[in-house]
Amino acid sequence: MKKRVMLGLSGGVDSAVAAYLLKEQGYEVIACFMRNWDAMANNDYLGNPTIDDDQCPQEKDYEDALSVAKSLDIPLLRIDFVKEYWNDVFTYFLDEYQAGRTPNPDVFCNKFIKFDVFYQFALQNDCSLIAMGHYAKRVKEDGHFYLAKAKDFNKDQTYFLSQLNEQQIEACLFPLGELTKDEVRIIAQKLHLSIATKKDSTGICFIGERHFKQFLHNYLPAQKGDIVDISTGQIIGAHSGAMYYTIGQHRGLGIGGIPNQQAEGWYVVKKDVIKNIVYVTSGSDNSQLLSDYCLVTRLNEYESYALDKKHVKAKFRYRSSDVDVYIEKLNEDTLKVTFTNRQKAIATGQAAVFYDGSLMVGGGLISEVYRDNKRIDK
């Protein structure tokens, strides 16, 4: 008897090819389209740059998922997790921005939606396994399940999966782990799937691509304030709301030429959301962006791998390179992560993910950042 697996079918090329590969491997595949954001109720889909007509992008994705399911001859279910997404992911997202941090909602969308309530829905439909079109590998080491980096390092998504526990990892299949994105596209084209050349989604998980400040303003209206040179204390510009800016941000600051000063560009180094001030530094003085260590909380740990007194690799942004760090546990939910070499633009709220070789061995959220033993994030 074939094993039943429920696959999250998004309407994109990755999940479509994942469904095909699972069928080829002998699984009975039940596809499911998750609707987790109500764009119509929130009246925010207008102005989305991916839309060229009046159709909500989620409904277009659902039509694409239907087309794929028909082509692959697999059933397609549809489920709404709008309430769960709002309570467990989007509320956290807003709270973090209000606190002046830079959240990554995809991390918690995976933890609470795709690998939790979706998995419970799969069990209710007699599927003991779930599957996703993520670029990651599920591996078993010494009797324990871990995630490992995908073959395509450029597309590897273990960073976004860093809050998954071992039970969630054990329950999920990742058919794309041994493929590159180009190989996935080729398979889709050979199958003549309608979405073979569909553009990859790069927006917020389930919310999509849109003008970010405008979208955030719908939920967190902000007041204009001063942009201040952190070295001189001089006001050199105005911002549209301190919470909207990211540590290390260089573009879109709107700072004009400063009299008697050579143009070097400006970078955000600190935000004070209480006083509504954005602090910047000149491009000629990147030292203000550097830090020696950070504290990491909201830890995701594995019983089989102690995150204490270890030299490992760490990733602090999805597109950043892995760096050498030393981790030591200060208490049950706090790590001190010391960088071998000073790091640039470490932002609170972002995920810190740890690797032993290609094995993902835990993660957490950056809560404080230090240089020369002085806290610099506030």
Residues assigned a catalytic role: 109, 205
Q: Of the candidates 234, 227, 357, 354, which has an alpha carbon nearest to the alpha carbon of residue 301?
A: 354
The pair of structure tokens assigned to 125 is 């439909």
Q: Of the candidates 203, 259, 215, which has an alpha carbon nearest to the alpha carbon of residue 241?
A: 215
- What does the alpha-carbon distance between residue 193 and residue 16 come to, in Å, rounded to a whole number? 8
- What does the alpha-carbon distance between residue 329 and residue 306 come to, in Å, rounded to a whole number? 9
Find out whether 194 and 70 touch, Cβ atoms under 8 Å.
Answer: no
Cβ neighbours, 10 Å, residue 366: 22
- What does the alpha-carbon distance between residue 374 and residue 323 come to, in Å, rounded to a whole number? 22
Residue with tokens 């109500």: 38
Q: Of the candidates 109, 128, 114, which has an alpha carbon nearest to the alpha carbon of residue 6?
A: 128
Please give the backbone phi and psi of residue 344, each rounded to the nearest 5 degrees, phi first: -100, 135
- What does the alpha-carbon distance between residue 109 and residue 162 come to, in Å, rounded to a whole number? 11
